[in-house]
């Protein structure tokens, strides 16, 4: 389909160059190709048909200020050019793919740390920093954001906010949505809005929550202020082996009920326990407590009481410490025999995905059993762990991997796995996604999550804020 | 070859886990500059899905081969290895314009002019090409424009009572030609270096530049070359050894907070991290503070693998980024482990438009630092 601006594409390029500088605008094929890719196999998720070209933007822009972003969006509105903001590009649901061409705003060029305030424990930063870039700056002054996803070397601050992400210590410190105090956002019209960076407020609805999770469909987040904390004085680790998954889950529930706040609490299902932790049976739990010495000791002791009552085997600190210090990122590094990255059998395509969701404690084991059955019935493999807990429940991180015969059926089968998995999650009472985001891949399920009325009202908000529908079109089911 | 193809494929499907440590990508903020995408472009060409065109080839030169990607990768994939292989296969017609214009000078070892008059004068009392006990190899870049460093090094060696010599004219180690992909020419230069040094027959050879040292210690063996029967030592290791031996009294220089830049060749490649730090910690009035990115994650100054020649605009961004990181450490003084890094930083800061440089730290190298701490 020919875009509206096809006739005057060079005019759009000229206006962008005049607005932010010609060295910050590119139409080169190489640049456009670099932004056509997502994190999951081959080109993208969902699978394209054979020989499908990747979605290419027409323009890549690198703004350095909020004003730059505002000018870009005004130009995009004038000419009705789609805009896709991208930071780390680490999502696997197609959220940053420029499906309808247009402009990719690479927010990584918004890379200034504006203020680290160690008296009030806040950091104000532009949103284009990769997580580790910000974390290193904070660590150098003895602080941490405590938002440490496995993708912290890849994903960026803007992406975290846009997708409502979670890091591995979220059980204690919350998701990114609990860490943000205020933000600056450029609206689709080019207007700029700023929410106050205060600890809390009752002055009307919290506008932060309008933009978090919107994945760029309601504007571009250019700056944010977050809570920060001193680096923990110490960390204490514990590994436990329970007889089975329900026992481990019960332990997690009791730990949360007791008022203990492990920084991390990870439960592996039986398959993950066998293949990754090398136990013949059972369900492994690893915990990390952090903070000052006495606190860690107390939480450790209380957790051990619960473990003992449930007859768990004490694996010592080894599994937890090893994971934290050596293996936290390992799954993401490719090798030829890696289940996600190995060369597929000739004639096949390798597929994978994470049907993550969250729900109450009684939901978690049920959904794991159900997903396992769905995936195995489709001749694929699923291993799950549970890694983000709350007082009332937690999150499941179920990864499926398989090989599908190349051809038109592959995309249909892939989409069917998701359909069955998401429907199961929804029907059992869980959310359709905990922290990886919706993007393109799960957009069609948003009406399950919000209901018809909710989805209709989401569209009304979208139409009111983005009347020309330029912001990340085709995502979130909008 | 199939091993290289598989490594390229793996880079191209990775989740980009090294992107934050790639000095080029971190400086330009461009997605196409990430090691993952360089691997992707290369793999596309290998698979016949893309043509070998100048626009793509340009990205093969947007890599300083700093090896940060290899250190960050738990499976030790090294995108720079892929880039080096690609560069060595290219016809002249595909080379970046800047590189083509200077190719002859690079492969003939004459990219840097000979000694400036000032440097010739400084070194003339020490020229001794035959059987010196300690021969200092300054490097061709330093011999052409590094008078500050050379003056400091001479002063340090005199104060420490070290008997040293220099060559009348220094042969090129071939490192620039090698990393730019002119491997056959680099071999010739390296062989000439080996023969010249061996015929001079020093007991000990001190190498000032990190990239020259890396070339001699790591790449010469790959080319089947070895400088025989001569102890080859890095600048910081040498200075530390001599200071410990001679035990000079140190001055009362109260420099406050000082930070250190790990050159790629010394740090990531040769694992020389502690010797320079031990020197910096010697004076009582100095507190060594580390940059937020240091050791294996140290940013590259932008010189490596000919990047300064092929893409000077990227070198400028990398240099500015490095000095900004140093500034953010709170230190007022940045000491580089390699005089070349210092030279690159100063050359490039002078042309940056972003002039909040009144907060940039002073930049010196190890010989200059040692000169200041010796009374």
Predicted TM-score of the model (pTM): 0.94
Written as six digits, the tokens of A48 are 């394209």
**Contact B5/A at CB under 8 A:** no
Mark whether B233 and B268 lie in a shared domain. no
The answer to whether residue B103 is domain-embedded is: no
Q: What is the DSSP letter of A130?
A: B
> How far is B254 from chain A, CA to nearest CA, in Å?
23
Average pLDDT for B277-303: 95
Q: Has residue A144 got a pLDDT over 90?
A: yes
Report the mean per-residue pLDDT for chain A: 93
**Contact B359/A at CB under 8 A:** no
Residue A330: its chain B contacts at CB < 8 A? 74
Which residues have CB under 8 Å from B205's CB, separation 6+?
Answer: B135, B137, B197, B227, B230, B231, B232, B233
Average pLDDT for B48-68: 92
- Which of B94, B109, B138 terminates a domain? The answer is B94
Average pLDDT for A395-410: 90
**Contact B20/A at CB under 8 A:** yes
Please report the pLDDT score of residue A5 as a whole number: 73
Please report the pLDDT score of residue A331 as a whole number: 78
Mark whether B284 and B176 lie in a shared domain. no
Residue B20: its chain A contacts at CB < 8 A? 130-133, 153-154
With CB atoms and an 8 Å threshold, state whether B29 touches A153.
Answer: no
Residue for token pair 């390992």: A330
Written as six digits, the tokens of B230 are 């001569």
Please report the pLDDT score of residue A406 as a whole number: 84
Quick one: pLDDT band at residue A49, thresholds 50, 70, 90?
A: low
Mark whether B224 and B253 lie in a shared domain. no
Cα separation of A134 and A141, whole Å?
Answer: 11
Quick one: pLDDT band at residue B111, thresholds 50, 70, 90?
A: very high
Does the structure's ipTM exceed the value 0.95?
Answer: no
B 233-272: CB under 8 A from A: none
With CB atoms and an 8 Å threshold, state whether B41 touches A33.
Answer: yes
Please report the pLDDT score of residue A50 as a whole number: 56
Q: What are phi and psi of B346, to 5 degrees?
A: -65, -40
Residue B14: its chain A contacts at CB < 8 A? 332-334, 341
**Contact B61/A at CB under 8 A:** no
Could you list the residue range(s) of the whole structural domain that residue B194 is in?
Answer: 117-243
Cα separation of B363 and A238, whole Å?
Answer: 46
Fold entry, domain A9-108: 3.30.43
Q: What is the DSSP letter of A471?
A: B
**Contact B74/A at CB under 8 A:** yes
Interface probe, candidates A148, A153, A327, chain B, greatest B C-beta count within 10 A: A153
CB B177 within 8 A of CB B185: yes
DSSP string across A279-347: -SSSEEEEEEEEESHHHHHHHHHHHHHHHHHTT-EEEESHHHHHIIIIITTGGGS--TT-TTTSPPPTT
Nearest to B15 among A35, A90, A136 (CB): A90
Q: pLDDT digits over A219-228, tens only?
A: 999 999 999 9
The answer to whether residue B104 is domain-embedded is: no
- In chain A, ranges of CATH 3.30.43.10 domains: 9-108
Nearest to B56 among A30, A89, A341 (CB): A30
CB A55 within 8 A of CB A101: yes
Mark whether B261 and B185 lie in a shared domain. no
Q: Please state the domain count of chain B.
A: 3
> How far is A89 from chain B, CA to nearest CA, in Å?
9
Please report the pLDDT score of residue A312 as a whole number: 98
Cα separation of A151 and A38, whole Å?
Answer: 13
DSSP 3-state assignment of B351?
Answer: coil
The CATH number assigned to the domain holding B184 equals 3.40.50
Mark whether B237 and B264 lie in a shared domain. no
Residue B15: its chain A contacts at CB < 8 A? 39, 90, 151, 154, 332
Q: Has residue A2 got a pLDDT over 80?
A: no
Please report the pLDDT score of residue A40 as a whole number: 53
The answer to whether residue B110 is domain-embedded is: no
What is the architecture of the domain spanning A111-230?
Answer: 2-Layer Sandwich (3.30)
> How far is B2 from chain A, CA to nearest CA, in Å?
12
Residue B73: its chain A contacts at CB < 8 A? 333
Report the mean per-residue pLDDT for chain B: 93
CB A337 within 8 A of CB B10: no
Mark whether B280 and B366 lie in a shared domain. yes
Cα separation of B54 and B52, whole Å?
Answer: 7
Mark whether B215 and B170 lie in a shared domain. yes
**Contact B222/A at CB under 8 A:** no
- Which of B228, B243, B258 terminates a domain? The answer is B243
The CATH number assigned to the domain holding B302 equals 3.40.50.11810
**Contact B10/A at CB under 8 A:** yes
The answer to whether residue B107 is domain-embedded is: no
CB A281 within 8 A of CB A270: yes
Q: Which of A204-213, A287-296, B126-135 has the lowest mean pLDDT?
A: B126-135
Q: pLDDT digits over B306-322, tens only?
A: 999 999 999 999 999 99
* CATH number listed for the domain at residues A234-328: 3.30.70.3450
């Amino acid at each position: 389909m020919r875009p509206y601006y096809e006739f005057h594409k060079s005019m759009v390029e000229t206006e962008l160059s005049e607005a932010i500088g010609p060295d910050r605008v590119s139409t080169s094929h190489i640049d456009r190709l670099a932004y056509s890719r997502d994190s999951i196999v081959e080109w993208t998720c969902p699978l394209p048909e054979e020989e499908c070209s990747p979605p290419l933007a027409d323009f890549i822009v690198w703004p350095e200020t909020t004003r730059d972003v505002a000018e870009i969006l005004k130009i995009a509105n004038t000419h009705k050019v789609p805009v896709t903001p991208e930071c780390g590009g680490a999502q696997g649901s197609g959220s940053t793919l420029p499906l309808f061409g247009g402009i990719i705003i690479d927010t990584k060029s918004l890379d200034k740390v504006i203020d680290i305030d160690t008296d009030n424990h806040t950091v104000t930063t532009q949103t284009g920093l990769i997580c580790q870039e910000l974390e290193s700056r904070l660590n150098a002054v003895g602080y941490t954001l405590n938002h440490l996803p496995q993708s912290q070397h890849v994903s960026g601050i803007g992406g975290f906010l846009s997708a409502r992400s979670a890091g591995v210590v979220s059980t204690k410190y919350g998701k990114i949505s609990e860490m943000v105090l205020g933000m600056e956002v450029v609206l689709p019209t080019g207007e700029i809005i700023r929410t106050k960076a205060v600890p809390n407020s009752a002055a009307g609805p919290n506008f932060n929550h309008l933009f978090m999770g919107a994945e760029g469909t309601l504007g571009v987040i250019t700056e944010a202020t977050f809570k920060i904390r001193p680096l923990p004085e110490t960390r204490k680790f514990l590994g436990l082996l329970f007889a089975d998954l329900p026992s481990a889950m019960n332990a997690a529930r009791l730990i949360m009920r007791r008022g203990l706040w492990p920084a991390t609490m990870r439960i592996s299902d039986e398959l993950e326990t066998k293949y990754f932790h090398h136990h013949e049976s059972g369900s492994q739990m690893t915990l990390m407590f952090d903070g000052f010495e006495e606190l860690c000791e107390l939480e450790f002791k209380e957790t051990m009481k619960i473990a003992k009552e449930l007859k768990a085997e004490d694996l010592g600190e080894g599994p937890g410490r090893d994971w934290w210090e050596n293996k936290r990122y390992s799954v993401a590094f490719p090798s030829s025999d890696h289940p996600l990255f190995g060369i597929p059998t000739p004639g096949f395509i390798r597929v994978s995905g994470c049907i993550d969701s969250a729900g109450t404690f009684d939901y978690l084991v049920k959904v794991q059993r159900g997903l396992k059955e769905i995936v195995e019935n489709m001749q694929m493999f699923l291993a799950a762990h549970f890694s983000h807990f709350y007082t009332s429940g937690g999150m499941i991180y179920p990864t499926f991997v398989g090989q599908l015969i190349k051809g038109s059926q592959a995309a249909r089968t892939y989409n069917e796995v998701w359909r069955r998995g998401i429907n199961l999650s929804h029907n059992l009472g869980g959310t359709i996604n905990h922290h990886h985001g919706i993007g393109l891949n799960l957009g069609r399920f948003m009406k399950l999550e919000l209901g018809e009325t909710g989805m209709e009202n989401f569209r009304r908000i979208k139409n009111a804020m983005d009347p020309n529908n330029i912001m990340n079109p085709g995502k979130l089911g909008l | 070859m199939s091993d290289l193809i598989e490594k390229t494929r793996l880079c191209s499907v990775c989740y980009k886990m090294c992107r934050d440590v790639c000095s080029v990508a971190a400086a330009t903020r461009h997605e196409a500059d990430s090691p993952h995408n360089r691997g992707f472009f290369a793999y596309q060409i290998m698979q016949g899905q893309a043509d070998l065109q100048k626009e793509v080839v340009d990205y093969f030169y947007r890599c300083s081969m700093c090896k940060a990607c290899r250190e960050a990768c738990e499976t030790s994939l090294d995108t720079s290895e892929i880039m080096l292989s690609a560069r060595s296969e290219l016809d002249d017609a595909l080379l970046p314009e800047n590189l083509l214009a200077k190719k002859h000078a690079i492969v003939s070892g004459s990219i840097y002019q000979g000694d400036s008059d000032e440097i010739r004068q400084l070194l003339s009392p020490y020229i001794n090409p035959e059987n010196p006990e300690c021969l200092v190899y300054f490097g061709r870049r330093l011999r052409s424009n590094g008078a500050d460093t050379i003056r400091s090094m001479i002063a340090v060696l005199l104060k420490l009572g070290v008997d040293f010599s220099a060559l009348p004219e220094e042969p090129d180690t071939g490192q620039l030609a090698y990393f730019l992909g002119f491997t056959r020419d680099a071999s010739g230069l390296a062989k000439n270096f080996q023969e010249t040094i061996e015929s001079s027959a020093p007991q000990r050879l001190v190498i000032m530049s990190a990239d020259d040292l890396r070339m001699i210690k790591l790449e010469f063996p790959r080319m089947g070359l070895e400088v025989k029967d001569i102890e080859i030592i890095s600048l910081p290791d040498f200075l530390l050894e001599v200071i410990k031996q001679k035990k000079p009294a140190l001055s009362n220089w109260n420099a406050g907070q000082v930070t250190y830049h790990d050159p790629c060749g010394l740090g990531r490649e040769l694992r020389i991290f502690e010797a320079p730090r031990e020197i910096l910690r010697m004076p009582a009035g100095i507190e060594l503070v580390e940059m937020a990115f240091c050791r294996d994650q140290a940013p590259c100054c932008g010189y490596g693998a000919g990047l300064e020649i092929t893409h000077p605009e990227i070198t400028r961004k990398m240099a500015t980024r490095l000095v900004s990181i140093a500034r953010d450490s709170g230190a007022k003084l940045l000491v580089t482990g390699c005089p070349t890094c210092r030279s690159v930083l100063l050359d490039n800061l002078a042309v940056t438009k972003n002039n909040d440089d009144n907060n940039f730290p002073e930049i010196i190298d190890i010989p200059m630092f040692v000169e200041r701490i010796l009374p």
